[in-house]
Structure formats: structure tokens, C-alpha cells
């Protein structure tokens, strides 16, 4: 089945992000498919899945802000920084005050330095960090700067040592590490016990589709009927690139653009500014006719010249 677009999946807990892609690839018989922003198996929530030509735009989601609803338990430290790991330490938390918790959350807001967990998919000398950790290898991951735009406590039960919070952050932020950092600041340790991604750039959990729903539709229809049933879930790729600006290309430059040729100033007009390295969604008339402007691809502006980066028509 031919699909060019993005599906906003609500990934179930217990599935890997690759599980979702593999299941859709097999059931829909599509070759090109990939996800943006890996979610750990214990996490659920928003997982944008790109199919067909949309796999070529995955790199442009890099600056999308991501939002999560998370829960944590005080008094524990594990090797994975979440409740699924091996317990390394237990501590009392009876003396932890609400004021101290709120101060710890405040300290984990803004631009902060964060060390990724060793049980992560980051590569160290060509091998995944979690593979090295499982083998008991000794290695270090470098701290990196991330940005936490908001970090608000949603529920606080100090008697049970349980905290729920909502966080919006930049790419590369590990919520498990936030829990661990807060636990260390409080002197009792803490682990993540649950995680739901509620938004990722354009995509929100309210507009996401469950895997059971999608697989039910796929199993109940075929051919044109299946295509029509799935159409409401397939989002045009250009709509999702909210960090890229917009450009209207002159009619006489469309063929040149689709052939990968650049266009000088005067052959295009910027209709929306870019928030991502002067990258733009380019629109123009359909090369072979058709109504309305077509999404032609992505281009950069360098010294006033429009240079194609991805031709997608």
C-alpha cells in the first residue's frame, strides 16, 4: 500500500518504538517507514511514524519541543534510573519537605547540564550504551546541555514518596535523569515509575491513534476501502513541519526546483519566517497540472539564493 505522510501513534506501554514500525510495515506492506523521537518500552504516548516520502523529513523534527507526564518514587536508586532496573540503593525520605521538592524541581528548569543514563541508545565507540551496560563494561557518557522549558508538579504525596509532574523540554532530554537528579538533590534518590509523552511538536496525544484501533481497521478492510479508512489518520508531511518557514515559488521556477536547481532572489517569496536554520517548505504549482499550490519540498536560503535540500514531489 502506498502511503506518503505521517501517522500520530499513541504507543502502548511495553512496545518498543521499532515494534510499532515493524507491525505497521508488515500489516500495511510498506517498505519505507520510520519513527521520530524514540520512546522507551515502559513509556507510552505520542510517537509520530513517517511513511513513504515522509521518511525523508524525519531529520527536521529535531528541534520540536516534547512534553511528558511522568511519575517518580522517592527512596530508590536503580541502574536504569527507572523502576524496571536493579535496585542499587534504598533510602528513607520521611524528612523530605515540600519546600525542598519544589526547590529541586525549580533547579531542574531552564538550561541545565544533563548526563544521559548508561541504559540508553546512545552510541559509545560504535556500540549502544545499554549493550555495554548489560555487559558490565565501564564507560562514561559526557554531560550535555539541554533545555527544560517547564517542569511543574502535578501531584505530590510525600507520605507515599510519590510525585507526578509535567515537563516540556528540548530534544535529547532524559526524563529518567530528571528523576534521578531530583532524587539526588533531595538526598534520598528517586526513580521514574511511569512516562507518557503528551506532545511532540505538531503532534498531541489528544489527536493520536491507538495501535488497537489502527490494527482493527487494517484487519477489517483492504484496497480502496482500507485507503479511505486510513486517510483520516494520515497527516500531510508539510503540515507537521512547524519549525520550517514557507516559500512561494514562482511558476517558472517549479521545474527547475524539482530538478534540484537553485533559484535566485526574485524567483521566490518568503511567506512565513523560518525558525530552523533558514529552512523552508516550498510551494508552487503542480508540475503536471492540478489545483492549488503543491508542497514541492524543503529548501535553504544561502546568500539570498534558494537551494533545494529535499525534493518531495
Q: Which of 40, 82, 181, 238 is the catalytic position? A: 40
In terms of C-beta density within 10 A (0-12 exposed, 13-18 middle, 19 or more buried), how is residue 76 classed?
buried
Q: Which three cell numbers stand for residue 294?
A: 503543491
Helix (H, G, I), strand (E, B) or coil at 43: coil
Which residues are CB-neighbours of 307 under 8 A, at least 6 positions away? 262, 299, 300, 301
Asked if residue 296 lies in contact with residue 249, where contact means CB atoms within 8 angstroms, the answer is yes
Coil, strand or helix: which one is 180? helix
- Neighbour-count burial of 28, counting CB atoms closer than 10 A to its CB (0-12 exposed, 13-18 middle, 19+ buried): middle
The grid cell for 194 is: 511511569
**CB burial readout 34-56, b (16+ within 10 A) else e:** bbbbebbebbbbbbbbbbbbbbb
**Separation between Cα atoms, residue 107 and residue 262, nearest integer Å:** 47
* SS3 at position 193: strand
What is the distance, to the nearest Å, from the Cα of residue 45 to the centroid of all Cα atoms in its chain? 10
Beta strands in the chain (DSSP E): 5-11, 33-35, 44-51, 66-74, 76-78, 87-90, 110-114, 123-124, 127-128, 144-157, 162-169, 190-200, 203-204, 209-210, 234-235, 245-249, 268-272, 279-285, 293-302, 305-311
Catalytic residue status for 277: no
How many helices (H) and strands (E) in the chain? 7, 20
- Between CA 277 and CA 6 the distance in angstroms is 23
Active site (catalytic) residues: 40
Amino acid at each position: 500500500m502506498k502511503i506518503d505522510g505521517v501517522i500520530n501513534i499513541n504507543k502502548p506501554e511495553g512496545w518498543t518504538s521499532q515494534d510499532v514500525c515493524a507491525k505497521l510495515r508488515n500489516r500495511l506492506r510498506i517498505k519505507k517507514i520510520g519513527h521520530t523521537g524514540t520512546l522507551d518500552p515502559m513509556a507510552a504516548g505520542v510517537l509520530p511514524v513517517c511513511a513513504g516520502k515522509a521518511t525523508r523529513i524525519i531529520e527536521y523534527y529535531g528541534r520540536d519541543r516534547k512534553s511528558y507526564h511522568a511519575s517518580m518514587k522517592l527512596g530508590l536508586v536503580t541502574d536504569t534510573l527507572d523502576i524496571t532496573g536493579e535496585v542499587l540503593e534504598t533510602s528513607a525520605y520521611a524528612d523530605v519537605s515540600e519546600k525542598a521538592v519544589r526547590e529541586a524541581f525549580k533547579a531542574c528548569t531552564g538550561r541545565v547540564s544533563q548526563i544521559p543514563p548508561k541504559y540508553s541508545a546512545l552510541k559509545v565507540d560504535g556500540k549502544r550504551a545499554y549493550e555495554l551496560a548489560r555487559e558490565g563494561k565501564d564507560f562514561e557518557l559526557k554531560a550535555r546541555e539541554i533545555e527544560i522549558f517547564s517542569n511543574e508538579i502535578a501531584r505530590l504525596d510525600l507520605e507515599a514518596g510519590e510525585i507526578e509532574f509535567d515537563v516540556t523540554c528540548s530534544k535529547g532530554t532524559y526524563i529518567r535523569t530528571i528523576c534521578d537528579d531530583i532524587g539526588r538533590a533531595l538526598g534520598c534518590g528517586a526513580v521514574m515509575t511511569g512516562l507518557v509523552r503528551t506532545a511532540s511538536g505538531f503532534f498531541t496525544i489528544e489527536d493520536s491513534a491507538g495501535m488497537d484501533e489502527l490494527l482493527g481497521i487494517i484487519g477489517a478492510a483492504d484496497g480502496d476501502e482500507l485507503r479511505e479508512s486510513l486517510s483520516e489518520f494520515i497527516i500531510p508531511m508539510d503540515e507537521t513541519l512547524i519549525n520550517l518557514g514557507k516559500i512561494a515559488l514562482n511558476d517558472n521556477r517549479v521545474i527547475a526546483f524539482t530538478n534540484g536547481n537553485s533559484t535566485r532572489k526574485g524567483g521566490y517569496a518568503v511567506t512565513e519566517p523560518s525558525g530552523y536554520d533558514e529552512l523552508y517548505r516550498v510551494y508552487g504549482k503542480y508540475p503536471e497540472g492540478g489545483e492549488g499550490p503543491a508542497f514541492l519540498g524543503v529548501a535553504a536560503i544561502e546568500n539570498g539564493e534558494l537551494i533545494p535540500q529535499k525534493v518531495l514531489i
